[in-house]
Structure 1
């Protein structure tokens, strides 16, 4: 039984390098959900990603306010929490709010069991959670960013083995020049990933991926946009579906696409742990990997993504769970699972989501008490 629910507004300006291949955004804002049950505090974060999420921060706040919290109970599993939000129809159409709802309630459930959230999620996924550090993919910037090469050097100096770049809207030769320079810095043993955020035209994709293969790009995420992905065949670089998985009409087709090599799982875009577990199960059945990554959320969302990555590590590639420049726009809280100077995601020894948090400095915008 839920005793108290609070919503806090948080977020602020972010550095200019934070953004997607198609757009940058000057700020990141969201809603922090705090749920209390039997003296246990569970936190969740709704931080829709501008340009990719279909809902707004205002939408998330309205949905979380509208829930009949008297009828919500602490779930026993991921499947159980999905049944819980099934009674709140608004959550079904608001993925970022659903992620916050599921994170907060599952964190309370895991704390009751004195286990990390990752263990509860792994149980539903039919997996064994990682017990040792997981090598993570380190985002080093856009292909047109003059600081990207310097970030590649810094990433390698802290033990990075997988580097990720975002493709900028630029001629192919410019992208290749950056990729070759980064390859020279990283060496042959490092994996390079490219995220196009759907920025290539469908007829550009085959030639571009042939060129990317020449510098050893390991995989490309979302090479073109939306339904155009369905026209792609087997290409020189394996391609993964990413933000198009958030489209309920496209997702089933992409999940069964014969040439899609894997799936990028962003809980903020997909609707939390329940959707992530479903996609992971499907990928396992097809023998395909997933990549868990964040959507530039604050520290609560980042910790939740890290717990998901720990839960599904046995059937996943190195997760895109790295400390990022937008995190401190929300709150200057450490995320022990993602040490900023490390190159691994570290399994937590604490129950629930990890570190206890002081909410005193945050701006409360809603409270419900039983």
Structure 2
């Protein structure tokens, strides 16, 4: 089967620069692709984050330039070293397959994204009022003492049923990680913590596992799952806690679905600050992995739509998300880009 290839580069500016332990992020760049064959079209998104072990934007650009404008399905392939390109092309090619569709009106619960610093208190109040009851907050950005004081305020200002994900982006030492765990336990707030997300660098997995076991507080892997060695942590026996997955960074969507089937009860889907095209593909993957809403173990981490004010997303923060809600934005992107 022959198919034609079109691609468009995009650049998005964060309304408020995203401050994490890795630095400040002001722009999100990537590529949108359209594949067409016999009147059928499929769409994908290449959204690299090299800090997470993916190809760079320039490497993705070189590949897209190299594949040209037409290809044969039987001989087409994407190198494993380009996981974001692989996700994009496999997602787009899936549109050519004949199969059962997904429920576009099914709503997935989302975890609300809080900014770092004192603005988190204001955003917490807004998102609670909107219906969120699970929140993700970046730590490791400021000193432990200031962040712990602020987190105590977040706990006090949130309803008792609200849960928190504390994301350090692999920036903490073992001493700092222990300080968080000890403070959570001594304050009696363990039941308010859904998990601490990758507190320590890649390569510290055994230390994180031991700390989680010692304190009885879940630690999730994130950065460890990406890059050439990341797939080992997707095996059932390698990690007992949650795994935070950014699907757009993890290669072929069909291969990813197969790998995740055995660990689906430990998977937490998370955003790569993708456009509505990538978001729609992630929601389809979640639908396939969790055919029953009752099986979804964690709220999805896709509360990133209000980070931008452009035409590539929903530009709104919603406690629940469905393909029906994403589709108008997706169609707008497609009509403008292709």
Q: How many residues align?
A: 325
Equivalent residues in 2 for 1:199-218, closer than 5 Å? 199-213=171-185, 214=187, 215=189, 216-218=192-194
1:157 is matched with which residue: 129, 133, 136?
Answer: 129
Task: Kindly indicate whether residue 49 of structure 2 is the aligned counterpart of residue 72 of structure 1.
Answer: no
Gaps of 5+ in 1: 74-83, 120-129, 365-370
Q: 1:140 to 1:359 in 2, by over 3 A?
A: same
1: CA distance between counterparts of 2:182 and 2:258? 32
TM-score, with normalisation over the residues of structure 2? 0.84
The answer to whether the 8 Å contact 1:95/1:272 transfers is: yes
2: CA distance between counterparts of 1:18 and 1:149? 16
Instruction: Report the alpha carbon displacement of residue 108 of structure 1 after superposing the two structures with TM.
Output: 3.8
Equivalent residues in 2 for 1:1-370, closer than 5 Å? 1-49=1-49, 51-67=51-67, 69-72=70-73, 88=77, 90-109=78-97, 112-113=98-99, 115-116=101-102, 132-142=106-116, 145-213=117-185, 214=187, 215=189, 216-232=192-208, 233=210, 234=213, 235-253=215-233, 255=235, 260-284=240-264, 288-313=265-290, 314-328=295-309, 332-335=311-314, 340-348=316-324, 355-357=330-332, 359=334, 361-362=336-337
1: CA distance between counterparts of 2:231 and 2:206? 10
Q: 1:322 to 1:310 in 2, by over 3 A?
A: farther
1: CA distance between counterparts of 2:181 and 2:31? 39
The answer to whether the 8 Å contact 1:135/1:161 transfers is: no
Instruction: Report the alpha carbon displacement of residue 249 of structure 1 after superposing the two structures with TM.
Output: 2.6
2: CA distance between counterparts of 1:187 and 1:361? 43
The answer to whether the 8 Å contact 1:10/1:32 transfers is: yes
Paired residue secondary structure (2:166): strand
Q: 1:93 to 1:140 in 2, by over 3 A?
A: same
Point out which structure has higher relative CO (alpha carbons under 8 A, 6+ apart): 1
The answer to whether the 8 Å contact 1:11/1:27 transfers is: yes
2: CA distance between counterparts of 1:22 and 1:226? 14
The answer to whether the 8 Å contact 2:124/2:154 transfers is: yes
2: CA distance between counterparts of 1:98 and 1:182? 40
Which sits farther off after the overlay, 92-101 or 314-323?
314-323
Instruction: Report the alpha carbon displacement of residue 12 of structure 1 after superposing the two structures with TM.
Output: 3.1
Instruction: Report the alpha carbon displacement of residue 131 of structure 1 after superposing the two structures with TM.
Output: 6.7
1: CA distance between counterparts of 2:157 and 2:17? 21
1: CA distance between counterparts of 2:180 and 2:124? 22
Gaps of 5+ in 2: none
Moved over 6 A (4+): none
Q: 1:150 to 1:225 in 2, by over 3 A?
A: same
1: CA distance between counterparts of 2:60 and 2:46? 7
Instruction: Report the alpha carbon displacement of residue 206 of structure 1 after superposing the two structures with TM.
Output: 2.7
Paired residue secondary structure (2:79): helix
Paired residue secondary structure (1:205): helix
For residues 61-103 of structure 1, give each alpha carbon's deviation from its aligned partner in whole angstroms, at most 9, with x where no partner exists: 2223334853216xxxxxxxxxx7xx52x53111111111112
TM-score, with normalisation over the residues of structure 1? 0.78
The answer to whether the 8 Å contact 1:136/1:319 transfers is: yes
Q: 1:157 to 1:108 in 2, by over 3 A?
A: farther
Which sits farther off after the overlay, 316-325 or 249-258?
249-258
* Structure 2 partner of 1:76: none
Which structure shows the bigger proportion of residues in helix conformation? 2
